[in-house]
Homo-oligomer: A and B are copies of this chain.
């Protein structure tokens, strides 16, 4: 197949609560320029994928709250390729909807799905790995691209492979594993046979939909019916009627795990500078500049200085044209936005979600 025959799907959802107050339910991280350039994560994802496909074959699945932002950030994307979910139904529904719509438009197409909020530094290596994975997908496998782990990360799920991973060499995936403990993560890293699951999937739409039909008809049947009405005047009515009936389930759990157990899943390990922009530690590491013992990250409109005096281990994220000044503090994350400021110990960066929960509980939904 020619590379431009590939259909690409980008599920753009999730509010990124570990990046609050930068990332918001109404303005999530994929819309922010967390890329080191003025392009948003979503735009950088588009830039990376567009050469693998064409705008006509690239679909974004997103929620009603973000449809207009997606449309404006990606003016090259045809409107009919922005699939808007009335409300979130987890990853299986989102990916299945895209697969079913593609199947209607181009039966038996190879599709690939990539998150909207990941950063990849080596685009050439990425494209090469995708090329290998496309071959497996065309042969009828459910393909993933697994990331060669560089540390015993406890924040990601893992793929267990049949043998130690070699970049670019396809092999079977035996199991999907949830986020491990630190001890287990260290074992995974040592064994060499585990890869990070970056939710990168490639398959023929007919193969995936057949697997889905066999395992989860409760997802498959309404989604196929919605897809048949898509691009017609019946779209809204059918979507409104059937979408609420679609169960919320992750695609790993619904399809990939059982399929792996039956030997239908393979992976191509990749090593192309992949980063999940999931927390402020990563934001500081990737996008910060070292100033006076601190990592300073500037996102969006600037115009006032960030001062760190006698600080160590400070990550300061400036998202508004205001002064941030710290004096004599250590191991803190300070994030300043237009309407909220966060001061968090670095040891607690994974618990920021607790703050958004509290804000919701107390009725301050505008700030979540």
Contact = CB atoms under 8 A, between A and B. Distances in A.
Interface of A: 21, 304-305, 307, 309-310, 321-329, 332, 334, 336, 338-345, 347-348, 351-352, 354-355, 358-359, 362, 364, 367
Contacts of A310: 348
A328 B304 contact: no
B329 A344 contact: yes
B322 A339 contact: yes
| Identical copies in the complex | 2
6 contacts: A307-B355, A323-B340, A325-B340, A325-B343, A327-B351, A327-B354
B305 A325 contact: no
Given A307-B358, A310-B348, A327-B355, 18 more contacts: A21-B325, A305-B359, A305-B367, A307-B359, A322-B338, A322-B340, A323-B339, A323-B340, A323-B364, A325-B342, A325-B344, A325-B359, A326-B342, A326-B343, A327-B342, A327-B344, A329-B345, A332-B343
B322 A364 contact: no
Given A304-B364, A309-B358, A344 B323 contact: no
Q: Which of A304, A322, A324, A355 has the most CB of B within 10 A?
A: A322
A355 B304 CA distance: 13
A332 B326 CA distance: 10
A344 B362 contact: no
Nearest to A338: B322
Nearest to A304: B367
Please list the 6 inter-chain residue pairs (A to B) with the smallest Cβ-Cβ separation, ordered nearest first.
A328-B348, A323-B340, A328-B345, A327-B344, A326-B343, A325-B355
Given A323-B21, A339-B323, A359-B323, A305 B345 contact: no
Contacts of A345: 327-329
B341 A323 contact: yes
Contacts of A324: 340-341, 343
B339 A304 contact: yes
Nearest to A326: B343
Contacts of A344: 325-329
Contacts of A327: 342-345, 348, 351-352, 354-355
Given A322-B341, A323-B359, A323-B367, A354 B309 contact: yes
A309 B339 contact: no
A343 B58 CA distance: 45
